[in-house]
């Protein structure tokens, strides 16, 4: 169906049929749903049972049910338009990848894209057309449970990782049946909710919105994302779900988004709860006039839009535009040509290998006092609450997995270490039993973590420090004089300020998916050299939050993150571990930063010319290893306060022992400019410090200058 045919199809439809295309229904009453589809009152079905699907067990996809619903839609409904089936495929299907925040620690968009392509194929093979991922909210507050669904605190990294996920889910030919439509969420500013509490309000200025929270959505549109989901939150008093400025003027007109926008779960009806609409009917009018295209599960559109059109409160022209966007995506993903499920045989072993590549690259070495990698001849002991855990290694927002594909940390260690291994049971051991058992043990590995049920939607924490019972376990083991390696299986960052001294090595394993345990053990024994880098700042304690690397300069003592400054009296000024940080078993030496030409005019920059800045990186250690080279920019003088540093480029490189490589970054107007207080993008004349190194605290810098025409 071509674009003209879509227009003609809409002209032939009744108003009720059009409104049906804007209604997404749930699957909880199959017989009733069949009847609604038969009447043309449903355009999409969400394959979920509850609002907080990420935390609840969900019914598996039943292919026969989906094919029957689709048959009714294309054969018996008035418009004969196929349904689009949506499901939360956040970071895995049968094969589970690391939680998205962990995936960002890879700093490797290519590896992530390939892994998500495998996940898309698995989901499409079961009849899923559309996923509500990636989440590209900027998150500076790890108390927020949903921070694990995004890619951290930085707009540039989030943009790149979001694009890789979109390109993994979607591909050049979306009609082949091995891809699914992606959905960029939550538009806009959901990660800025006050106190890290779900569904709260966010206070975001136009300046901050455009320079931080909007950037990943702009990047998603450039990657041709099919759909966008609104945020539950309000921004400065305006709920996003009813904001025409945000949903139409900014997203569609200015940024050029061509797909459709869906509400989050029952978000239209929640305008009543928010006190913006007096009832569900008014809520439907507000959202429709904002051109929110599809209403998820609350029935406001299907119940009231027809009457609102008759009353002149919503125009049928507006309805037509919304329907066009929905049908455009259905056509783009081949639903008119191939509405039914045709299953293929999948090589899950290949997908496991892709998942393993991901988990290898996300696990982050935060501390190592010459303990790792371990010598296999050493006798070690394993204990801790995550030693025998499988389910929580997968993280939140997973339910289609095959648990038979998952091994615990203990199981994988037993395959490696054999007789030189002491494994304690899950939790029913007594401290008096531990002490004598550890007599001839050299090193103790503590497998620590948090349940998948304490992160994700509506799972926010007031305290993200290491749980007290786990801290006490580490204290006691260290008190025996043993070397202690901590393996931390958490979805979010945690405060390690009090715990750090009790560990000789800290391996932050996140919740890394199906192959998490294999990657953990491979890294501990040196089969894999860790290469993860932190996509979000780790505080020393909860009280430091919010703490993020790209904060603005202050009028007095403004270097807190990087040294002395405006800080708390009862806490060190610096974070526990900074953004971009991660250790390796080898060492990397950086040359001084250099630049081909250190001055360009604004006119040259406007015409596409770029600064070329670079370094030579040498592996001076004893192991082959991967290093993420990071490039940061600081605008030294501007008409608006600017961040002390901003990530504007990164490159992950593999270096053999003794090998060196030159890494070059190109910086043009996009990297040097910003949006001013009027919402205008500008590149101002002046000097910029360019930092290149292994994390955000590097002092390896060079100065460049953007010259105005009057100075030239």
Catalytic residues: 264
Q: Could you tell me which residues come within 8 angstroms of residue 300 by beta carbon, excluding any fewer than 6 positions away?
A: 268, 269, 280, 281, 283, 284, 287
660: helix, coil or strand?
A: strand
Instruction: Check the CA dihedral 269-273-274-276 and report its sign.
Output: positive
Q: If you ran DSSP here, which 8-state letter would residue 583 be given?
A: B
Instruction: Give per-residue burial for 31-47: e unless 16+ CB within 10 Å, then b.
Output: eebbebbbebbbbbbbb
Pairing of strands 23-25, 295-296: parallel
* Dist CA 453 CA 548 (whole Å): 26
Rounded distance, CA 606 to CA 604, Å? 5
User: Please, which residues bridge with residue 229 across strands?
Assistant: 262
Residue 15 in tokens: 């108003």
C-alpha to C-alpha distance for 458 and 455, rounded to whole angstroms? 8
User: What whole-number distance in Å separates Cα of residue 163 and Cα of residue 109?
Assistant: 8
Q: 477 burial class (0-12, 13-18, 19+ CB within 10 angstroms)?
A: buried
Q: How many CB atoms lie within 10 A of CB 555?
A: 7
Instruction: Supply 432's token pair.
Output: 């008096």
Cα–Cα distance for residue pair 693/555, rounded to 1 Å:
27
Q: In what order do the strands lie in the sheet with 183-187?
A: 183-187, 227-230, 260-262
Sequence length of the chain is 712
Radius of gyration of the chain (CA): 26
Distances (CA, A) of 463 to 141, 530, 648: 11, 28, 32
Helix (H) or strand (E) holding 618: strand 611-619
Other residues' Cβ atoms within 10 Å of the Cβ of residue 26? 18
The bridge status of strand 234-235 relative to strand 364-368 is unpaired
- Spell out the residues 6+ positions from residue 26 whose beta carbon is closer than 8 angstroms to its own: 33, 45, 46, 48, 49, 297
């Amino acid at each position: 169906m071509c674009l003209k045919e879509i227009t003609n199809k809409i002209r032939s439809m009744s108003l009720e049929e059009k409104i049906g295309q804007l209604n997404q229904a749930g699957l909880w009453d199959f017989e009733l749903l069949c009847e609604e589809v038969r009447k043309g009152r449903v355009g999409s079905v969400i394959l979920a049972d509850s609002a907080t699907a990420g935390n609840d067990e969900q019914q598996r996809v039943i292919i026969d049910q989906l094919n029957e619903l689709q048959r009714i839609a294309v054969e018996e409904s008035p418009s004969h338009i196929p349904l689009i089936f949506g499901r939360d495929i956040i970071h895995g299907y049968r094969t589970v990848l690391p939680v998205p925040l962990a995936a960002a620690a890879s700093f490797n968009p290519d590896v992530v894209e390939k892994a998500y392509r495998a996940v898309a194929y698995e989901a499409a093979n079961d009849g899923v057309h559309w996923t509500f991922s990636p989440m590209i909210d900027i998150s500076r507050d790890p108390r927020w449970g949903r921070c694990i669904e995004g890619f951290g605190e930085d707009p540039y990294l989030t943009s790149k990782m979001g694009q890789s996920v979109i390109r993994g889910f979607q591909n050049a030919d979306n009609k082949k049946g091995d891809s699914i439509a992606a959905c960029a969420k939550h538009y806009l500013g959901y990660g800025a909710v006050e106190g890290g509490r779900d569904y709260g309000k966010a206070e975001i200025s136009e300046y901050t919105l455009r320079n931080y929270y909007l950037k990943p959505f702009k990047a998603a549109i450039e990657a041709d994302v099919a759909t966008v989901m609104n945020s539950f939150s309000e921004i400065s008093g305006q709920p996003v779900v009813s904001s025409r400025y945000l949903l139409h003027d900014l997203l569609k007109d200015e940024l050029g988004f061509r797909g459709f926008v869906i509400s989050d779960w029952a978000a239209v009806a929640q305008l009543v709860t928010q006190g913006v609409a007096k009832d569900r009917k008014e809520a439907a009018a507000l959202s429709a006039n904002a051109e929110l295209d599809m209403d998820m599960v609350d029935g406001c559109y299907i119940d009231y839009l027809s009457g609102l059109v008759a009353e002149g409160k919503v125009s049928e022209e507006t309805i037509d535009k919304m329907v066009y966007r929905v049908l455009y995506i259905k056509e783009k993903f081949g639903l008119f040509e191939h509405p039914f499920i045709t299953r293929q045989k999948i090589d899950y072993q290949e997908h496991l290998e892709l998942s393993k590549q991901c988990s290898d690259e996300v696990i982050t070495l935060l501390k190592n006092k010459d303990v790792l990698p371990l010598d296999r001849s050493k006798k070690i002991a394993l204990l801790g609450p995550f030693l025998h855990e499988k389910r929580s290694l997968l993280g939140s927002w997973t339910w289609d997995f095959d648990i038979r594909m998952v091994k615990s940390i203990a199981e994988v260690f037993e395959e490696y270490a054999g007789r030189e291994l002491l494994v304690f049971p899950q939790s029913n051991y007594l401290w008096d039993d531990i002490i004598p058992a550890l007599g001839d043990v050299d090193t103790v590995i503590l497998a620590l973590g948090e349940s998948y049920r304490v992160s994700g939607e509506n799972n926010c924490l007031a305290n993200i420090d290491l749980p007290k019972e786990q801290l006490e376990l580490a204290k006691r083991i260290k008190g025996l004089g043993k070397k202690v390696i901590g393996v931390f299986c958490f979805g979010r960052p945690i405060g390690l300020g009090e715990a750090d001294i009790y560990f000789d090595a800290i391996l932050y394993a996140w919740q890394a998916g199906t192959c998490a345990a294999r990657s953990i053990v491979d890294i501990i024994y040196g089969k894999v050299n860790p290469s993860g880098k932190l996509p979000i700042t780790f505080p020393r304690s909860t009280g430091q939050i919010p703490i993020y690397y790209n904060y603005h300069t202050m009028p007095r003592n403004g270097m807190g993150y990087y040294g002395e400054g405006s800080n708390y009296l009862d806490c060190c000024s610096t974070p526990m571990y900074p953004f971009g940080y991660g250790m390796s078993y080898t060492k990397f030496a950086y040359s001084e930063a250099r630049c081909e030409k250190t001055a360009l005019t604004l006119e040259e920059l406007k015409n596409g010319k770029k600064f070329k800045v670079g370094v030579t990186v040498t592996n001076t250690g004893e192991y082959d290893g991967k290093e993420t080279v990071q490039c940061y920019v600081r605008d030294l003088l501007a008409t608006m306060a600017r961040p002390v540093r901003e990530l504007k480029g990164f490159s992950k490189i593999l270096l053999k022992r003794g090998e060196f490589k030159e890494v070059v970054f190109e910086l043009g107007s996009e990297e040097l400019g910003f949006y001013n207080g009027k919402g205008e993008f500008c590149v101002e004349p002046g000097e910029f410090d360019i930092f290149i190194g292994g994390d955000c605290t590097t002092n390896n810098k060079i100065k460049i200058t953007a010259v105005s025409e009057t100075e030239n």
